[in-house]
């Protein structure tokens, strides 16, 4: 199976046998990065607070094919050992190692933690003779794997790299679709209008997955199989059936990002100092990450998502599902049509797309309307190998509905926005919002129940104690907010009189 490792230095991938443990992951990593130093152990969560048990298999701990685990490493120790070793010894060999051309690979200089400059091997090396003879690009030659092969053995191995492209007819979300909180989406698209939708921007969707009664119990879900050319295609066995769900979106959080037209996604994600507070706050409010939303410039008719967005959607679905499994995690796109009207649509990528992304079979290429197939793999369309797959083959449409939250309001300025007419988040804005208490039926807790405002308060109040109690009153209006917290918050906002 394939397991992906998310590190502070990027995403790594390992291929492991059945029954593998975390020790097998470490061994696989050491084959290409022999000097890596771990600052936090292999874990089940991004904070590395739930380390893997080395005495239990990965499957027993919920890590399946395509699943994600996490760790933190010393960046100066992560150079890949891909440079061809020289047989010569002595001064000549020493000189050869210092030369990227003679060593068969490229090198780069990095600044170590102590400020010294080190020369390390960079990603990518020249193609060796052994690689040129591999049965597929990037693979060993057949005789380097084993001396004798039967036709059945070779076919079974080669089939692992073949995908027969098949459109998935329906998403993993039930007929209830996705219910988007109206004011949150309106605020997101309104900000995009400031730039005439010419800058791309994204945000995380927080809400809930709600069960619906399953319909058509004999309908099949997708699972890998082999047919035609021996390539992997998808039939849908009943044992894979999952209960239908609808997605309720309550809030949108836009992390720090920088618009970048040269980037494949159209933006660069920056480090988020509020990441831990966002996750803690959402958990206390009973919310989870249910999807992501991306706004982009107008595109030609029929061009829904770019290849970079398709691959990112697949990565996020893999992370949500914990592997190549059905998940109701959704992708929302926001743009404008030729008349300037806002278009909001919801999608998911297919299970086959998730499988191909997990195995790094799909790449971004020159034409953003197509996913390019890695040269190690073969995509079969209409009975013929194809170097690209049109993005729409991987997309399934999710029904979308407007929704007015009964728990949250969406009034407070959003974090991480470079331009805001109100001057961004401040105590003055908090006063402006909370001062409406007692007017038009608003209560203090009603106005406090704003995801952006609550996140702002996390900077000044203790998250584990104070914010936990405040969130209880937000979730359940029967739980009265302590007057002491009302007084503290009102004082912070500079409010006088009753609240």
Reported pTM: 0.76
What's the CA gap between 90 and 66, in Å, rounded?
45
Does residue 493 contact residue 437 with C-beta atoms inside 8 Å? no
Joined tokens for residue 250: 């309550």
Helix count and strand count (H, E) for the chain: 14, 24
- The secondary structure of 305-368 as a DSSP string is S-HHHHHHHHHHHHHHHTSSS----EEEEEEE-TTS-EEEEEEEE-HHHHHHHHTT-EEE-S-T
E strand or H helix at 346, and its extent? Answer: strand 342-349
Residue-level pLDDT at 225: 47
Does residue 222 contact residue 164 with C-beta atoms inside 8 Å? no
What's the CA gap between 442 and 460, in Å, rounded?
24
Residue-level pLDDT at 112: 57
What's the CA gap between 387 and 379, in Å, rounded?
7
What's the CA gap between 67 and 2, in Å, rounded?
7
Beta-bridge partners for 396: 348
Does residue 222 contact residue 351 with C-beta atoms inside 8 Å? yes
Joined tokens for residue 387: 């170097």
Provide Rg for the chain, Cα atoms: 26
Decide the pairing of beta strands 257-259 and 267-269. Answer: antiparallel
Beta-bridge partners for 207: 249, 288
Query: CA nearest 69: which of 58, 54, 80?
Result: 58
Phi/psi-derived region of residue 42, left when phi > 0, alpha when psi is between -120 and 50, beta in every other case: beta
Q: Is 49 exposed, middle or buried (0-12, 13-18, 19+ CB in 10 A)?
A: exposed
Residue-level pLDDT at 274: 95
What's the CA gap between 106 and 108, in Å, rounded?
7
Our measurement of the distance from residue 326's CA atom to the centroid of its chain's CA atoms, rounded to an integer in Å, reads 15
Does residue 468 contact residue 475 with C-beta atoms inside 8 Å? no
Query: CA nearest 252: which of 403, 435, 437, 472?
Result: 403
Our measurement of the distance from residue 15's CA atom to the centroid of its chain's CA atoms, rounded to an integer in Å, reads 20
The string over 204-214, giving b where at least 16 C-beta atoms fall within 10 Å of a residue's C-beta and e elsewhere, is bbbbebeeeee
What's phi and psi for 385, nearest 5 deg?
-65, 140
Provide the residue-wise pLDDT of the chain in tens; the chain has 499 residues. 888 898 887 788 888 888 999 999 999 999 888 889 999 999 998 888 899 999 999 999 989 887 889 998 988 888 766 444 444 444 444 443 344 444 444 555 555 555 555 555 555 444 555 455 677 887 777 777 777 888 887 788 878 889 999 999 999 999 899 999 999 999 999 999 999 999 999 999 999 999 865 544 444 444 444 443 445 554 544 444 455 689 999 999 999 999 999 999 999 999 999 999 999 999 999 999 999 999 999 999 899 999 999 999 999 999 999 899 999 999 999 999 989 999 999 999 999 999 999 999 999 999 999 999 999 999 999 889 999 999 999 999 999 999 999 999 999 999 999 887 788 899 999 999 999 999 999 999 999 999 999 999 999 999 999 999 999 999 999 999 999 999 999 999 999 765 5
Joined tokens for residue 54: 């080395």
Q: What residue has token string 């780069």? A: 108
Does residue 159 contact residue 136 with C-beta atoms inside 8 Å? no
């Amino acid at each position: 199976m394939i397991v992906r490792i998310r590190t502070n230095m990027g995403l790594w991938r390992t291929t492991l046998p059945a029954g593998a443990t975390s020790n097998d992951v470490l061994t696989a990593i050491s084959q290409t990065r022999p000097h890596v130093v771990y600052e936090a152990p292999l874990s089940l969560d991004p904070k590395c607070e739930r380390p893997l048990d080395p005495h239990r298999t990965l499957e027993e701990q919920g890590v399946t094919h395509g699943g994600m685990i996490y760790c933190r490493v010393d960046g100066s120790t992560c150079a890949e050992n891909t440079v061809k070793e020289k047989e010569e010894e002595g001064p000549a060999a020493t000189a050869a190692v210092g030369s990227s051309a003679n060593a068969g690979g490229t090198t780069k200089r990095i600044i170590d933690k102590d400020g010294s400059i080190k020369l390390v091997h960079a990603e990518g090396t020249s193609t060796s003779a052994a690689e040129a003879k591999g049965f597929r690009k990037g693979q060993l030659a057949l005789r380097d794997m084993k001396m004798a092969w039967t036709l059945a053995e070779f076919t079974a191995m080669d089939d692992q790299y073949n995908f027969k492209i098949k459109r998935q007819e329906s998403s993993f979300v039930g007929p209830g679709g996705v219910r988007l909180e109206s004011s949150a989406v309106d605020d997101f698209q309104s900000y995009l209008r400031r730039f005439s939708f010419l800058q791309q921007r994204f945000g995380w969707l927080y809400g809930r997955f709600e069960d619906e009664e399953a319909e058509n119990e004999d309908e099949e879900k997708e699972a890998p199989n082999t047919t035609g050319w021996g390539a992997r295609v998808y039939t849908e066995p009943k044992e894979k059936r999952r209960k239908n769900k609808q997605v309720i979106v309550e809030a949108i959080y836009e992390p720090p990002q920088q618009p970048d037209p040269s980037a494949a996604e159209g933006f660069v994600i920056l480090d988020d100092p509020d990441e831990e507070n966002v996750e803690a706050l959402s958990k206390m409010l009973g919310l989870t990450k249910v999807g992501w939303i991306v706004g982009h410039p107008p595109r030609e008719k029929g061009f829904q998502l770019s290849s970079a967005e398709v691959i990112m959607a697949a990565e996020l679905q893999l992370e949500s599902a914990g592997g190549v499994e059905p998940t109701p995690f959704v992708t929302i796109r926001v743009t404008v049509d030729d008349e300037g009207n806002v278009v909001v649509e919801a999608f998911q990528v297919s299970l086959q797309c998730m499988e191909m992304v997990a195995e790094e079979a799909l790449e971004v290429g020159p034409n953003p309307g197509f996913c390019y197939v890695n040269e190690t793999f073969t995509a079969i369309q209409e009975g013929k190998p194809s170097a690209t797959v049109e993005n729409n083959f991987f997309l399934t449409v999710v029904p979308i509905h407007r929704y007015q939250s009964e728990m949250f309001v969406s009034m407070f300025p959003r974090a991480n926005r470079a331009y805001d007419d109100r001057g961004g988040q401040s105590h003055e804005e908090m006063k402006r919002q909370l001062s409406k208490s007692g007017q038009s039926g608003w209560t203090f807790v009603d106005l406090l129940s704003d995801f952006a405002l609550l996140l702002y308060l996390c900077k000044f109040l203790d998250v584990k104690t104070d914010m936990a109690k405040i969130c209880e009153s937000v979730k359940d209006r029967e739980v009265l907010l302590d007057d002491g917290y009302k007084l503290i918050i009102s004082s912070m906002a500079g409010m006088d009189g009753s609240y």
